[in-house]
A and B are shown apart, each in its own frame.
Chain A
Amino acid sequence: MTTHHASAHYDVIVIGAGVTGLSSAWWLARDGKSVLVLDKGVIGAEASSRNGGGASHYQSPLFAEEQRLWPMMDDLLGYPTEHQAQRIIISVTQREFDHYNYIGDMCTAMGWPVDKIDGDTAREMVPITGDNCLGGIHLRFGGHANPQRTVQAYAWALQDLGGRIIQHCPVTGIETAGGQVTAVTTPQGRFSCGALVVAAGPQIAGLLAPIGIDVPLMAGRAEMIVTEPAPLMQLGGVDGNGLYGRQTMRGNLAFGGGPHEWIETMASGPRARPTTPLSRSLARRVAEMFPRAAHLNVIRSWAGIVENTPDGRPILDRIDNLVIATMSGVGFGLSPATGHAVRDLVVDGTCSFADIAKLSLARFAGIDPDWRAAAGWLPLAGA
């Protein structure tokens, strides 16, 4: 095991070896910066590796850069991400059909091409749909990738550039002097830095509160199920019927959606990630969406813990030599571009490829301290 020495100095320290932190670290290492990533646990062990793998977040200012980067990521990183382009969104109710078409129009208006498809076309493109399929939208953009493989690819690519990752190393304190972050303390010693990136998901608020920065976040638990492999479809990025998910390159159908549970988390992270009988409602919706796959066995379910801001939008902001990066539960697909933006914030002070001013922390200045209660974002009694 590597011995970690105290008083080591890095140009940049990143707290959080999730997909946002590791992409940021990789981008900074590409820039020649010496980078250290610290994590309370294992690389990508939380939501970064437990999500649906979607990469179609048209609403984000980072989306165009994400779309530019994804097709290149395997080559840039040197490791496979299983990225696949495009998506189809299937409806089995008129309400879904209207809703998806509205979103299709919204994307078209932004310049992202969308084909509206009828039931017959959908059945042709997605053979496991059934007579109940009303059609949907075919996004000729977006896509999906394998979360665990991608997060590990960032980690390995970072290490290949000389970056360092220390697992099982929770940050216990952030030292400041004259308004600048100077170092972080951990059970494995003190590490000083020229800049700090905090990309620690639900733990961000607890890390920054002691230095007087309030980040309004609330953690929630979400669930997914996965089946045994089905024959590969023309496009794996198929979801709908109130679900998100995909067919993996192996053929498994992995889907999530539905009600979340607000939970308390601790500085050390979530205490557990249990699933509930919600699995049965997910199975029902998958079976409704894909009647010709209803015989496939579900072989696992799991839950992940994600943080949300009050408006559900990211916080990507720089305060002196500190950069705060939370994607508010929508971080995986955008990660190639998020890392680029964080790199720009750290190195240049501003994002070079997109306006991200509306993602500043300042928008929450003066927020009601009881905003969670006001929104109903409170854990259930006994949780």
Chain B
Amino acid sequence: MTRIHDPHAIDGKIAAPDATHDVIVVGAGPAGLGAALEAARAGRQVLLIDENPVAAALVGSDVPLWFGGRASAAVQAPERLIETLVETEPLIAEAFEAGIDVRLGTTAWGLWRNRDGSAALPEAMLGLSDGQTSSTAGFGTLILATGARDCALAFAGWDQPGVMGALAFQTLVQRYQAFAGHRVVILGSGDLALETAALAQTHGIDVAAVIEVRDAVQGTGAVPAGLTVMTSQQVIRAEGGINGVERVIVRGAGGAEQTIACDTVIQAIDVVPAIELAEVGGGQVVTEPTRGGAVIAGGAGEVLPRVWLAGAAAGLNGSYADALAQGRAVAAAALGLDSVIVPADEGFDRMAYRADWLRALVATSPDTTLVCQCEEVSRADLIGVQPPRYLSRSDTMGTRSLGTLLEDGPPDAEQVKRLTRAGMGLCQGRRCREQISLLLAMAANLPPKSAPRGNWRVPVRPLPLGVMADWDQAAKMDEGWDVWFGIDTQWIPYRDIGTEAEQRHLAELGGNMHL
């Protein structure tokens, strides 16, 4: 039987990718560089992309990392930053020499595959952008080495310049040489925090204190010389002025408060695997506390057909060398070579540690403390499931809360997000999704492992309309374009149905472009 064509349907309208590559590696951190170099060594053609240097506007919006307003003016000069990136990571030069097509300042903002609910694509493809235009790219093999992002937990005064994440600090200090602070307080005492402290010292940045909420140092590595971790501490608040943080006030187990002068507070409690691309491509998300919370099922390896995951994005929480080795191993496996992928070390319950910190920070901060900075949603409004401030609040609205929603069923992060707007801002929930997830779990008496979570959507980085736009779109996309389903009888005024007027409208409107 000949298939009847619905001219308004998507069938055949999505164009093939603008370019197709043998191997694409997303992320030029150690895992991505390891993967790209391994693939090149195996004689494959490799495209290696990395979003760094990130545009200054995104740095200011805390995307993709929590830069916390502590980037120097150096981030305004991307050409210089590219030089710095290449100078500070010798493997990038090695990649160039190996014939790898290395594109810095290039973002992968979408991954689309045919899967349940859609078979419209000619093939799987990435959405790429260099900041000026966007394009699509097909691949034989895709290796996602997208790294991790910062985990942010709110406390009093966190919503001011000078409060930032450990990965953003590492990026600004080490890769951009664009850190604007001088004296830092580090929250956390795991290996991440200890490495952050050591990095600061190496770069001549004064470490005023390392603060731990638990009663013992959490890291397995050495505490940097000259530093003592202050354990069993509560962070009361960060105070500051027009330029942001000037001091942090903490309270020890004995109840004595201490004021520590600093210009930056680095949250180094944990990092979060950057699963955005893998998730929007259809990867199954599971919650595994030891791998960093919401992660892709299976970990390092093939997570979707022809799509592989490596490094911190897969929950690896080890050293630079570990990530490099895992990247090489994943690429080798992806290319059908003998390979042993060493999985992430799963000893430490990262979500329990985050939850301990969050409970302590909630205990010391007023419930007017913002959880979502973009949309200005306080903790009280989140747990109260109250609408944003631009709406008036009726008396009945005040009777509603997460508690009454829980009577209807388990907490649903998407529902709470859309009612409160928490997580719906420009940073795409990067500064709030982990804490919202944990706060909802706590309020519902669920363990962290069962914390509800909001999902990622394309574009996984904010992307201007004019950049995302397909300006070279094939003509077939506009053929039969209709506002809705193109069912011409749908829009005939009821009184005209079955009359001569109906025929006139159908002829005039021509089946297209209904309101």
Contact = CB atoms under 8 A, between A and B. Distances in A.
Given A294-B465, A299-B426, A275 B505 contact: no
Contacts of A156: 396, 400, 404
Interface string A1-13: 1100000000000
B491 A59 contact: yes
Interface in A234-268: 242-244, 249-250, 257-263
A240 B468 CA distance: 19
Tell me the dominant secondary structure on chain B's binding face: loop
Contacts of A49: 418
A287 interface: yes
Interface magnitude class on chain B: 35 or more
A297 interface: yes
Nearest to B473: A281
Contacts of A103: 509, 514-515
Contacts of A220: 9, 485
Contacts of B512: 99
Interface in A38-82: 42-45, 49, 56, 58-61, 74, 78-80, 82
Interface string A142-160: 0000001100100111011
Contact of A300 (B457, B490, B493, B514): B457
Interface in B1-23: 1, 3-6, 8-11, 13-15
A330 B487 CA distance: 12
Contacts of B414: 42, 45
Interface string B375-408: 1000000000001101111111100100010111
Interface string A351-363: 0000100100000
A302 B6 contact: no
A60 B465 contact: no
A134 interface: no
B401 to A, nearest CB: 11
B249 interface: no
Contacts of A149: 387, 418-419
A272 B515 contact: no
Interface stretch (A25-33, A199-207, A372-380): A372-380
Given A59-B490, A149-B387, A277-B125, A284 B473 contact: yes
B485 A260 contact: yes
Contacts, number: 288
B42 interface: no
A50 B479 CA distance: 25
Contact of A277 (B9, B136, B487): B136
A322 interface: no
Contacts of B404: 156, 159
A88 B494 CA distance: 23
B443 interface: no
A365 interface: no
B124 to A, nearest CB: 11
A58 B483 CA distance: 16
A103 B514 CA distance: 9
Contacts of B297: none
A274 B125 CA distance: 14
Given A74-B394, A80-B394, A258-B481, A43 B471 contact: no
B508 interface: yes
B458 A381 contact: no
A377 B10 CA distance: 11
A261 to B, nearest CB: 5
A297 B481 contact: no
Given A228-B462, A281-B470, A60 B494 contact: yes
B394 A312 contact: no
B202 interface: no
A110 B495 CA distance: 9
Nearest to A295: B464
A312 B414 CA distance: 30
B102 interface: no
Given A294-B465, A299-B462, A274 B409 contact: no
Nearest to B11: A380
A152 B402 CA distance: 13
B473 A376 contact: no
Contacts of A110: 493, 495
Interface in B351-372: none
Contact of A312 (B393, B470, B477, B487): B487
Contacts of A102: 508-509
B350 interface: no
B134 interface: yes
Contacts of B508: 102
A283 to B, nearest CB: 4
A287 B469 CA distance: 8
A257 B509 contact: no
A369 interface: no
B513 interface: yes
A249 B117 contact: no
Given A298-B463, A378-B3, A274 B117 contact: yes
- Which of A167, A277, A379, A381 lies at the interface centre, i.e. has the most chain B CB atoms within 10 A of its CB? A277
Given A79-B397, A157-B396, 16 more contacts: A1-B406, A1-B409, A80-B397, A156-B396, A168-B409, A250-B388, A272-B115, A274-B116, A275-B458, A278-B14, A284-B473, A294-B464, A295-B466, A296-B464, A312-B488, A358-B498
List the 6 closest pairs (A to B, CB-CB), nearest first.
Answer: A312-B490, A312-B487, A294-B466, A297-B462, A376-B6, A78-B396
5 contacts: A79-B400, A103-B509, A260-B9, A297-B426, A383-B119
Interface of A: 1-2, 42-45, 49, 56, 58-61, 74, 78-80, 82, 89, 95-96, 99-100, 102-103, 106, 110, 148-149, 152, 155-157, 159-160, 165-168, 220-222, 227-228, 242-244, 249-250, 257-263, 270-281, 283-284, 286-287, 290, 293-303, 305, 308, 311-313, 328-330, 355, 358, 373-383
